[in-house]
Chains A and B, each alone.
Chain A
Amino acid sequence: MPQTAFEPWNDPDAKPLIQFRNVSKRFGDFTAIDDLSIDIFEREFFALLGPSGCGKTTMMRMLAGFETPTSGTIMLDGQDISPIPPNKRSVNMMFQSYALFPHLTVYENIAFGLRRSKMPKDEIDARVKQMLKLVQIEKFGARKPEQISGGQRQRVALARALAKGPKLLLLDEPLSALDKKLRQDTQFELMDIQEKTGTTFVVVTHDQEEAMTVASRVAVMDHGKLKQVDTPDRIYEAPNSTYVADFIGDVNIIEGYATKQGDTVSIAWSEGHSPIIGTPSKPIADGKVSFAIRPEKIAISAERPTDRNNIVHGKVLDIAYLGNLSTYHVALPDGTIIKAQTANSRRRSSRPFTWDDEVWLSWTDTAGIVLES
């Protein structure tokens, strides 16, 4: 698509739609949100990602108005929204359980919010029909929620939340109740709908794949704090902590002691192994580091490769066959287990390596991430 990259977070003049300013939320002794500040921009598809209990749902409920911050302010379009009750906010939410009204038809569910806003009848009708069309459930308008399937209910919930044309749409684990195949299709539809309506979406999820697929930016949370806020590719390829590296995707983490060598560092990590050569993204001081490397960045071979600095030798301990990929767990002589992944690009080729085979693992100087620990 010929369009300039959508990166308002890099534009110093862009005005954020949502601003969290030093927001904290405590429930008794438990701190759900800890002094958190963040800007979310208009038309963004923003994902809050984290394990359960990390505070992501609390953030969303504060945006919807079901919780108020203990301290700090939340601004929507430059206005402090803390004193505004949920029914007066231009924010709508799609609930994890969908929360459809069981006693109303699909049509009445979608019209519910519009009827509360005293819109003329014919306009409501036109808007509901438009929404039914947008989420492709025109046929089911007259049915009750219990008469349609889970995937259709998800669409009704989305249409109902979008019907009032909110400035901000919140989606709480929107796809978690769908099976995997349907989930993948729906992810793309969700992105499509977001683009068509131009609404700002904030999605809460614990599914990293979902967050990576749909979001323009992902915020990784842990214990009420933001660990990293970045685009999906930067989160994956340049995590800023071992927590983020470990939470997103699969990773090998090796602890060691770094010594600077020009642009690269040499990491001593185990006696009897030559040090790992890594390239830190920003200059770091000599000292303890964690070296994180994704399994697919590690090559596996029967012969000792000659063109790389980082080479280790080990024995295949386990093989996980995933169809498109195979993951090999390789045990080094000192007991360290390293995961290496290869794409199964050819059909019918017998597996190149099997259990207890002696193999060589290798990677380039820039394949891993050096993190200060």
Chain B
Amino acid sequence: MRRLTWFNATSLTLGFAFLYIPMIVVIIYSFNESRLVTVWGGFSTKWYGELLRNESFLDAAWVTFQVGFFSSIIATILGTMGAYVLVRGGRFYGRTLFSGMMYAPLVMPEVITGLSLLLLFISIGLDRGMFTIILAHGTFAMCYVSVVVSSRLVSFDRSVEEAALDLGCTPFEAFRLVTLPIIAPAVISGWLLALTLSLDDLVIASFVAGPSATTLPIKVFSSIRLGVSPEINALSTILIGIVTIGTIAASLTTKRAVMRRQREERMAEQAG
């Protein structure tokens, strides 16, 4: 192990402190006995209990989950289709415009996206609620999915698809039996990305949500305007926990896949 230089050690400490001290504070205060957020009154888990009894938080969490689930599925299907056409469609008329339009929402300010969706829903007379949030999230997350999937499509050998056609597949069968299994990791990471984007979106959701449906980020944001309650700390701690476990699980899976591949390559060398 190389020793860190004085400069590197300092910047590392400062960087991590900057990133993680706020979260650590939240976690610590979620176990605070006192109702006052800034005064330590001893250890307690009572706010977790309070949280589980709070109907409006539970409702918001359930809505968020449903919105995330359905919108990420819509985004994954549409995004994959869009990426496939962009990468494999050849040079069709209007391709440049299409690809520009596909990627524009990535750089579009969320406020604009939210506002224009709101105006659209009003003008076509669609009642705002969970359904409109799903539509809104599905459309903007689709662009992210398309970016992830198209980078995978670009890097894989076209002749594999041609081989499937050559061996008697219709174009659709070739996609289902060969292309999709090969790009599956990218489709799954696109889906996870869409899910994450939907779960933590506040701006677009607050434009298109109606009184009947509130997502968790909206709920959190509106309740801290009335003052931070210890329940919010408890909720944040739970969310941090879920994200941490998810991240660790994902990196462990990747690491195992890499190790398995290396082992297989060694086997192939010996076999050759």
With a cutoff of 8 Å between Cβ atoms, the chain B residues found around residue A113 in the complex are: 167-168
With a cutoff of 8 Å between Cβ atoms, the chain B residues found around residue A95 in the complex are: 159, 162-163
A148 engages B271 (CB within 8 Å): yes
A86 engages B162 (CB within 8 Å): yes
Identify A86's interface contact among B165, B181, B271, CB under 8 A. B165
Q: Report the Cα distance A86→B167, complex, angstroms.
A: 8
Partner-binding segment picked from B193-201, B230-238, B259-267: B259-267
A152 engages B272 (CB within 8 Å): yes
Judge whether B169 is part of the interface by a CB distance below 8 angstroms.
yes
* Cβ < 8 Å to B, chain A residues 110-160: 112-113, 116-117, 140, 144, 146-152, 160
A99 engages B159 (CB within 8 Å): yes
A149 engages B269 (CB within 8 Å): yes
Q: Report the Cα distance A117→B170, complex, angstroms.
A: 12
Which residue from chain B places its CB closest to the CB of A91 in the assembled complex?
A: B166
A116 engages B166 (CB within 8 Å): no
Identify B167's interface contact among A103, A116, A144, A150, CB under 8 A. A116
A37 to chain B minimum Cβ distance, whole angstroms, is 25
B269 engages A99 (CB within 8 Å): no
Q: Report the Cα distance A130→B261, complex, angstroms.
A: 30
Identify A149's interface contact among B160, B162, B271, CB under 8 A. B271
Judge whether B87 is part of the interface by a CB distance below 8 angstroms.
no
Judge whether A247 is part of the interface by a CB distance below 8 angstroms.
no
* Cβ < 8 Å to B, chain A residues 59-111: 64-66, 85-88, 91-93, 95-97, 99-103
With a cutoff of 8 Å between Cβ atoms, the chain B residues found around residue A149 in the complex are: 268-269, 271-272
Q: Report the Cα distance A92→B159, complex, angstroms.
A: 13
* Cβ < 8 Å to A, chain B residues 176-197: 177-178, 181-182
A132 to chain B minimum Cβ distance, whole angstroms, is 15
Query: Interface residue tally of chain A, by bracket?
Result: 20 to 34
Judge whether A164 is part of the interface by a CB distance below 8 angstroms.
yes
Chain B interface residue count, CB cutoff 8 Å, equals: 25
* Cβ < 8 Å to A, chain B residues 80-116: none
Q: Report the Cα distance A177→B205, complex, angstroms.
A: 54
Judge whether B50 is part of the interface by a CB distance below 8 angstroms.
no
Which residue from chain A places its CB closest to the CB of B265 in the assembled complex?
A: A146
B209 to chain A minimum Cβ distance, whole angstroms, is 41
With a cutoff of 8 Å between Cβ atoms, the chain A residues found around residue B167 in the complex are: 87, 92, 112-113, 116, 160, 164
With a cutoff of 8 Å between Cβ atoms, the chain A residues found around residue B164 in the complex are: 101, 112
B272 engages A146 (CB within 8 Å): no
Q: With A116-B167, A148-B268 as given contacts, are A102 and B261 in contact (CB-CB < 8 Å)?
A: no
* Cβ < 8 Å to A, chain B residues 128-178: 157, 159-160, 162-170, 173, 177-178
A90 to chain B minimum Cβ distance, whole angstroms, is 10
With a cutoff of 8 Å between Cβ atoms, the chain B residues found around residue A103 in the complex are: 181-182
A233 to chain B minimum Cβ distance, whole angstroms, is 33
A87 engages B264 (CB within 8 Å): no
Q: Report the Cα distance A100→B268, complex, angstroms.
A: 15
A116 engages B272 (CB within 8 Å): no
B178 engages A64 (CB within 8 Å): no
Interface residues of A (CB under 8 A from B): 64-66, 85-88, 91-93, 95-97, 99-103, 112-113, 116-117, 140, 144, 146-152, 160-161, 164
Interface residues of B (CB under 8 A from A): 157, 159-160, 162-170, 173, 177-178, 181-182, 261, 264-265, 267-269, 271-272
Given A100-B163, A112-B164, 12 further pairs, Cβ under 8 A: A65-B165, A85-B165, A92-B166, A93-B162, A97-B159, A101-B178, A103-B182, A146-B268, A149-B268, A150-B272, A152-B271, A160-B163
Closest 8 CB pairs between A and B? A149-B272, A113-B167, A116-B168, A99-B163, A99-B159, A103-B181, A95-B159, A86-B165
